[in-house]
Amino acid sequence: MALPVGTQAPDFTLAATSLGSISLSKDLAGKSVILYFYPKDFTPGCTTEACEFRDQFAAFRELDIPVFGISRDSLATHEKFKKTHRLPFELLADESGKVCKTYDALIPLIKMPTRVTYLLDSKHKVAAVFDGFFENKAHVTAMLKQLEK
């Protein structure tokens, strides 16, 4: 069950593929943000989703909305995944799963991230959410539709 619309997004600081680390409250203050949580680098569904965000990235960049992918993979694995698929956005390493858990994006019994995407407004409140484990490309489409409103 994802965080409901209107919820204040939990703050976090995570290691990032190109930027050292990212803090929601410090580095992204006053910015709308896309956070997409996904199970694992290099799996078919996650690769499809990441490549869809890559292919539609220009639309988010035009709106000045950064995109961040978050999973429990290590930073080294993220860096390989990002390079292999030429991803133009940051991947954040949540190896402990704490951030996934605070965003209700962790499958309880197996402690693996589920597939959920959040659009946070400039005050970091949840403006939109799309929760669909098997709907890889639909996450991007849902966020773009929200941004058109």
Catalytic residue among 16, 46, 129, 143: 46
Q: What are the DSSP calls for 41-90, one per residue?
A: TTSHHHHHHHHHHHHTHHHHHHTT--EEEEESS-HHHHHHHHHHTT--SE
Q: Decide if 46 is catalytic.
A: yes
Helix 44-55 and helix 138-148: axis angle, to 10°?
30
Residues assigned a catalytic role: 46
